[in-house]
Structure 1
Amino acid sequence: MFDIVSPERIHDLIQVYGLWVLFALVMAESMGVPLPGETALVTAALYAGSTHMISLQAVVTTASIAAIIGDNIGYLLGRSIGLRLILRYGDRFHIGSNRLKIGQYFFMRHGGKIVFFGRFVALLRTFAALLAGANRMRWWYFLLMNACGGVCWAIVFGGTAYLFGQQVEHVKGPIGLLLFVVAIGFVFAGMVFFRHHEKELEKRAKAALGDQ
């Protein structure tokens, strides 16, 4: 599988199938499938810069549209299937109704930041939409922040790869690793904060959400 989605293989597929490969990988990753959408974006931009067979605008537009469509599918899956699974099996993983309300309250307050900045972090890029849907983030706000994040992500990574060529491959890995480590740090800090303030957060969530 990893050979199929390696940068070299993606490059070969783009030569044959064009930007449909980029569209499929980015959309699938945004839906929650762990595929290298960002690698596909960088590879497509490198291909555009080296061959001029496709334009940077086409690469950025394709990646942006795929990210928005995939994230919205992921949101709908999270809101329907994901929420039902949590309600049915959540107690087995210590996710009761009170903790579910806390998650919904957290996404109501900070969901926009998670969706926007999650587009730039590998783990969140795959699961942010599913989490937003499962936690009932307002769809119109999700759509706005998702579209802004998707377009900015496509411009930043696609534009950088196009302008600096192969040099971006030397920094993409370390930058991605750094962002991942920072994200893990925030998650750990959030877990510590949650454990010490769970009762207070439950009260805030119940006050904000009522009995919904």
Structure 2
Amino acid sequence: MHIDQWIEGVPPTSVYALIALIIGLESIGIPLPGEIALVTASLLAARGVVSPWWVAACAILGAVIGDSIGYAIGRRGGRPLFDRLGRRFPRHFGPEHLETAERSFHRWGMWAVFFGRFIALLRIFAGPLAGALRMPYWKFLIANVLGGVAWAGGTTLLVYQVGKVAEQWLKSFSWIGLVAAALGGVGSAWLMKRRAAKARAEHPEQSGGLSGEPMEPAAAPVESAVD
């Protein structure tokens, strides 16, 4: 079962805690589909199952707290921590992933933490790598909070609005589709009838066969006797 199907099966009151947990664990450095979970919860909010405000608040809380825990782990473990993770989980913490994240941090600093929220790779690395690189915590915290609010709050609001519009459109589409199907059926029948009438007018000798009436067999040729 995919993460989105799993969340939809959870009682509404537990969705908030689940969203905070998934996004928090992803922010610590555990590769989980936090973005998919957030989008699924936002769509549930668009359907009225849960509150979009609570979804956004729990997502922001999970992002900020998870990143802060990840920062503490990275600061304590340092580069050897990523080397061990790279050997154990090469698909997520391989040397090429770490090098890409490090280049982003050295080039952008605080902005790497902020924009890392919107990039799957940096979202996992942001907290632990900022700690391992000894970024001052106050700088990290500012970028962490701003990034969490922009990503979690913005994603929830956007998906919620799109979901509401799509829901209204789909309700209208059910009637539009029914009318279009009926008009299409009438139009197809009229077109086929017109083509059949045109064919009979152009080839009247074949009208018997076209109408389903048996056609008289042609008379056999009379052979002349040869003396």
Q: Which amino acid aligns with 2:150?
A: C
Question: Counterpart of 2:115?
Answer: 117
Q: CA RMSD in A?
A: 2.9
Aligned match for 2:22, one of 20, 25, 35: 25
| In 1: Cα distance, 2:80 partner to 2:119 partner | 27
Larger relative CO (CA 8 A, sep 6+): 1 or 2? 1
CA displacement at 1:70 relative to structure 2: 0.1
TM-score (norm 1): 0.64
Query: Superposition pairs for residues 26-105 of structure 1, below 5 Å?
Result: 26-51=23-48, 53-85=49-81
Given that 1:108 and 1:137 are in contact with CA atoms closer than 8 Å, whether structure 2 keeps it comes out as no
Question: Counterpart of 2:185?
Answer: none
Q: Which amino acid aligns with 2:145?
A: A
1:90-124 CA-partner distances (Å, limit 9, x unpaired):
xxxxx9xxxxxxx6x98476221110001001111
Question: Counterpart of 2:88?
Answer: none
Q: 1:73 to 1:46 in 2, by over 3 A?
A: same
> Identity rate of aligned residues, in percent?
42
| In 1: Cα distance, 2:62 partner to 2:121 partner | 18
Q: 1:7 to 1:131 in 2, by over 3 A?
A: same
Structure 2 counterpart SS, 1:19: helix
Equivalences, count: 153
TM-score (norm 2): 0.60
Is residue 155 of structure 1 aligned with residue 153 of structure 2? yes
Structure 2 gap segments, 5+ residues each: 85-94, 96-101, 167-227
CA displacement at 1:54 relative to structure 2: 2.6
Structure 2 counterpart SS, 1:165: helix
CA displacement at 1:11 relative to structure 2: 1.6
CA displacement at 1:6 relative to structure 2: 2.2
Structure 2 counterpart SS, 1:35: coil
Aligned match for 2:130, one of 116, 129, 132: 132
| In 1: Cα distance, 2:15 partner to 2:83 partner | 42
